[in-house]
Amino acid sequence: MFKRFVITLIAVINLSTAVQAQELNARVQILSPQIQNTNKRVLDVLETSIRDFLNTRRWSPDNFQVQERIDCNFVINITEWDGGANFRADAQIQSTRPVYGTTFNSTVFNYSDKEFSFNYTEGQPLDFSDQNYINNLSSLLAFYANIIVGLDYDTFSRYGGSPLFAKAQTIVNNAQNAPFPGWKAFENLRNRYWLAENLTNKAYNPIREVLYNYHRHGLDIMYDNQSKGRKEIMSLLPQLQKIDKQKQGSMLSQIFFTSKADELVNLLSQSDPRDRMNAYNILTVLDPPNVTKYEVLKNTRR
């Protein structure tokens, strides 16, 4: 009996350590509204496999408590399936980060990958290597896992995500001969290649600095001093304006605004009229796709 107790205790300790080591709390949803195949069991198995791959692997050298895990969502929409191993899909990937002293989670990464295609057969293990390209699905998932963890680190410490972005860049390099789109520079100016390039290119470090200051010196201090935190966020807009003039149309800037447009409106709509108008004038130039959202800043009355 004592021996069984010791074995059980060791197993519980090992399980606890394993749980603490994982960074992601990923929710995965597979959608297939365009697929007529009635036997979709493989999609249920695929969903579970992806969730396990993301949540049970260790992506950094740090240990995470359960409550510290990074909340993220992978919504994968299957657009074509031959009934066998070949899938064409797109994916919406989002991650959030808690704001100090509140129950609010701020969106850090919100990205739509229109080239999330892969091969998969039911029961296939999702093998992955940092050194070699094995299959596209595991490379896609590992790439975004590193991006998500890296961006989360960037919001807590200046350039904290650099080691994770370097890993994402290695995944891109290893996939250069892959027969799937999204990994190569010449395919388009908004894909995984350019996302990794922007995050590892020092020319874009000012955007990463804005991300850090936005969270640590803006959102995180609003619990104690809302006015001070809001002013810090306001002060970042001219910096983004300067970056845009130097690196107009950068992918990293676009991702920042895709993630933050609604939040910026909610935060800055509480500012005084002059600051709101100033924010409106800057944001409508920097982020044309979200102009209609920013109209609130111009029209808000206090």
The mean pLDDT of the chain is 90
* pTM, to two decimals: 0.91
Question: How many CB atoms sit inside 10 A of residue 41's CB?
Answer: 8
Cα dist from 70 to 37, 44, 65, 152, whole Å: 34, 23, 10, 8
Tokens coding 99: 């704001």
- Average pLDDT for 204-217: 96
The answer to whether residue 5 scores a pLDDT higher than 80 is: no
220-to-46, 53, 67, 212, 243 alpha-carbon distances in Å: 38, 31, 18, 11, 24
Range of lowest pLDDT (42-56, 187-201, 239-253): 239-253
Torsion of CA 19, 14, 147, 184, to 10 degrees: -130
Q: What confidence tens digit (pLDDT) does each residue in 17-31 have?
A: 444 558 999 999 999
Angle formed by the axes of helices 136-156 and 192-200, nearest 10°: 30
